[in-house]
């Protein structure tokens, strides 16, 4: 995630709260106590931005769904209250846009009933999503952003991994369509996640 509460704390980045003068170019709008959602406003000369960094709950338990629902409501409220700013929602969604975004093909409540409905309701789309699906040279799912070791091995005894696209950069659909592509930056990245670049 590009923007997180740990970035604010650990790297000494400073942000001004909403009640401070508008002359500041970047200031904190919201941060929850669990470190799962943080929002900043960035005033620019042409297009003011509302950047919301998120880490959505994983799984389909009742607790996870309640947490996801609360985050979706908070993100929607932030977008509504700051409607003079162009929203960018980014981070680990722990959900998929398309059925084949998980290489297993599995879909969960968090995918179908929550994430996809949230996108529709807010008029948001992942940048590069149409390009990924429309690319005639790509017959598989979108580029993966998360891998996880499985309990299986291949013929040579190597651990096999499951992959999925559960991270995204979201913008209003009309703007997301104008972003030509988004790709993963996997060059020597030592993590089970790889960052998105656009």
Q: Which of 80, 50, 65, 164 is nearest to 115 (CA)?
A: 65
pTM for the model stands at 0.74
Q: Percentage of the chain surpassing pLDDT 70?
A: 71
Helix (H) or strand (E) holding 196: strand 196-197
Residue 38 CA neighbour count, 13 Å, CB half: 19
pLDDT digits (tens, 9 = 90+) for 46-96: 889 999 999 998 888 899 889 999 999 999 999 999 999 999 999 888 888
- Residues 6 or more apart in contact with residue 154 via CB below 8 angstroms: 160
**Domains of the chain with CATH codes:** 5-127+166-182 (3.60.10.10)
Instruction: Write out the E strands in 35-133.
Output: 37-42, 49-55, 86-92, 124-126
Residues of the chain with pLDDT under 70: 1-24, 130-141, 180-198
Alpha helices by DSSP H, listed for the chain, are: 5-10, 62-81, 109, 116-122, 129-134, 173-176
The confidence score (pLDDT) of residue 172 equals 94
């Amino acid at each position: 995630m590009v923007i997180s509460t740990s970035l604010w704390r650990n790297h000494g980045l400073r942000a001004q709260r909403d009640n401070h003068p508008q002359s500041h170019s970047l200031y904190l709008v919201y941060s929850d106590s669990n470190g799962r959602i943080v929002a900043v406003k960035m005033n620019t000369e042409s297009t003011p931005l509302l950047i919301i960094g998120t880490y959505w709950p994983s799984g389909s338990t009742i607790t996870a769904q309640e947490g996801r629902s609360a985050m979706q409501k908070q993100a929607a409220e932030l977008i509504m209250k700051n409607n003079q700013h162009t929203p960018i929602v980014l981070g680990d969604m722990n959900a998929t846009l398309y059925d084949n975004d998980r290489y297993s093909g599995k879909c969960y409540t968090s995918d179908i009933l929550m994430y996809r409905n949230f996108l529709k309701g807010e008029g948001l789309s992942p940048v590069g999503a149409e390009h990924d699906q429309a690319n005639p040279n790509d017959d598989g799912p979108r580029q993966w952003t998360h891998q996880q070791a499985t309990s299986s091995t291949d013929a040579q005894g190597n651990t096999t991994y499951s992959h999925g696209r559960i991270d995204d950069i979201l913008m209003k659909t009309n703007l997301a369509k104008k972003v030509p592509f988004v790709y993963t930056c996997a060059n020597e990245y030592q993590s089970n996640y790889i960052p998105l670049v656009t």
